[in-house]
Amino acid sequence: MMKTKFNIASALGDYKRRDEERREFIINEGYAAMEEIIKEVNQRGSLNEADIYYGTPKPQLSFSDVELGYMLTSMMEYATNHVGNPVDEECEFENKLAYFEYKDEIVQIFEVYGQGTESWFSKPSDKTIDKLNNTAYGVYLLQFDDFINYTKNKDSETNKLSSNSTILNDITGGYTVGRGSK
């Protein structure tokens, strides 16, 4: 059997770099990206990463499918951590929803779980918009500005921490951990 090595410091470095890229995109391009997302959702009805490759017509976006994924994932995490998520009872699959408002426009993120996870931006129905604006269901409506400010605050907190002070670096000393047998 072959011996495999897993370098914890390298894996953590990759994760940290992707997290920094995600935050940097949201902080620097988030508002412009959201305007483009709203425009496309209003024209198409929905938008996800696959639309960038296979959509007909192709969405007119100034950012990549990966960056669209950053927005979907980060916004859904923010909603989950701040207000929780309602579900679509009519959907036969496990799912959760999130709602964001930006410049008097509301977009919905729909996330479905099955043999994987699929998520996309969509336009909520008029009935849902009415519920968000006029009932207790409105607790689920988040302001996009709050999401951007939260991301900026998380970024400044992260920058205060030194990579040398992480617990895992203290434990491993940056060493490679070997696993398996010869």
Q: Is the peptide bond before 57 cis (omega within 30 degrees of 0)?
A: yes
The tens digit of pLDDT for each residue in 102-159 reads 999 999 999 999 888 999 999 999 999 999 999 999 999 999 999 999 999 987 776 6
Residues above pLDDT 70, as percent of the chain:
82
pLDDT at 96 (0 to 100): 97
Site of tokens 């009935």: 127
pTM of the model: 0.79
The tens digit of pLDDT for each residue in 37-88 reads 999 999 999 999 999 889 888 899 999 999 999 999 999 999 999 999 999 9
For residue 144, give the 3-state DSSP assignment: helix
Q: Is the pLDDT of residue 12 over 60?
A: yes
Maximal CA-CA distance, the chain: 66
Q: Is the pLDDT of residue 9 over 90?
A: no
Q: Is the pLDDT of residue 168 over 90?
A: no
Within the chain, how many helices (H) and strands (E) appear? 6, 7
pLDDT at 160 (0 to 100): 61
Inter-CA distances, 172 with 5, 10, 77, 181, Å: 14, 12, 29, 21
